């Protein structure tokens, strides 16, 4: 499966049938609770030889509580359904949820350890699934007594097959990237030498930046964006944007093309080598 248009293809909400499922569960639970309370109160009133109007008040009161409780749950579940959205980009999955307290969970694919598809009794009745995305950080929190609920939790999914297929594809990209034969053997032949080569490469890239003129800051400010906002749009850190604007870092071709695409102008109108401008 291609990664093209992943973000646009998977930006949506959970299935509305999730509301019905939760309401059926609530109706059954509240009926049992209210029925049990009514039964106990009925027995106590009979033992006390309460008048008939006492039983009427008890019936009306229990019924009112039952109706009010289910109305409140229905309202809550409707708001939950409308507020729950998820979006998949090429680097992470982001989940927005919450009725009273809004939350935004961003999960990089490099941290995902497992994807679990659960389907309980009520899920099977309504043809729904629950996607649970387990991450390294969340697993550690559970071992220390943290919450059991996984970091990535998407209930009410009608067909999870394509969703999980895309997540698997992107997880594989960030955790099992293939390297051309020969190059990988050389890089990982000695870990100490590999680290030295890595540092030397970073320093050389930063020194090259002294020869680079850039309009990234000018273009960013012209659109009223902060460094953090531009970094989020490009999928990099704010520090990277800061280095780019100061001409302290030469971007890769991929990043340069992303910047050009974002500002909708050619690359050569954003970056220019000092030696070229003086010739």
Rounded Cα distance, 217 and 241, in Å:
9
Neighbour-count burial for 44-77, b at 16+ CB within 10 Å, e otherwise: ebeeeeeeeeeeeebeeebeeebeebbeebbeeb
Asked if residues 132 and 115 have their Cβ atoms less than 8 Å apart, the reply is yes
**Entry field: residues in the chain:** 279
pLDDT value of position 208:
55
What is the residue whose two structure tokens read 């229905």?
Answer: 74
Asked if residues 18 and 188 have their Cβ atoms less than 8 Å apart, the reply is no
Report domain extents, the chain: 1-177, 184-278
Full pLDDT tens readout for the chain, 279 residues: 444 445 445 677 889 999 999 999 999 998 888 888 888 888 887 777 878 787 888 889 889 999 999 999 999 999 999 999 988 877 788 888 888 888 888 888 777 877 888 888 888 899 999 888 887 655 444 444 444 677 788 898 888 887 777 777 777 766 554 444 333 333 344 445 555 555 555 555 555 555 678 889 999 999 999 998 998 899 888 888 888 887 777 788 888 889 999 999 998 888 876 654 443
pLDDT value of position 140:
41
Superfamily of domain 184-278: lambda repressor-like DNA-binding domains (1.10.260.40)
């Amino acid at each position: 499966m291609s990664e093209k248009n992943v973000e646009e293809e998977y930006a949506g909400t959970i299935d509305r049938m999730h509301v019905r499922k939760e309401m059926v569960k609530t109706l059954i639970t509240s009926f049992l609770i209210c029925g049990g309370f009514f039964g106990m109160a009925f027995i106590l009133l009979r033992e006390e030889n309460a008048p008939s109007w006492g039983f009427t008040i008890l019936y009306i009161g229990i019924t009112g509580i039952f109706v009010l409780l289910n109305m409140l749950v229905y309202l809550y579940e409707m708001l939950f359904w409308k507020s729950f959205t998820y979006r998949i980009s090429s680097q992470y999955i982001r989940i927005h949820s919450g009725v009273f307290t809004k939350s935004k969970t961003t999960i990089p694919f490099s941290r995902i350890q497992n994807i679990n598809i659960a389907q309980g009794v009520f899920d099977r009745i309504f043809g729904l699934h629950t996607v649970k995305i387990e991450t390294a950080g969340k697993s550690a929190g559970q071992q220390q007594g943290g919450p059991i609920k996984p970091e990535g939790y998407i209930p009410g999914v009608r067909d999870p097959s394509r969703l999980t297929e895309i997540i698997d594809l992107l997880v594989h990209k960030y955790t099992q990237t293939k390297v051309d034969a020969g190059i990988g053997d050389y890089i990982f032949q000695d870990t100490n030498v590999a680290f030295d080569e890595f540092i030397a490469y970073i320093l050389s890239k930063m020194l090259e930046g002294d020869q680079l003129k850039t309009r990234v800051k000018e273009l960013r400010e012209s659109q009223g964006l902060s460094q953090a906002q531009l970094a989020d749009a490009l999928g990099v850190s704010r520090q990277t944007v800061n280095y780019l604007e100061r001409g302290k870092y030469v971007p890769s071709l991929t990043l340069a093309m992303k910047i050009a695409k974002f500002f909708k102008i050619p690359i050569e109108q954003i970056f220019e080598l000092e030696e070229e401008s003086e010739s």
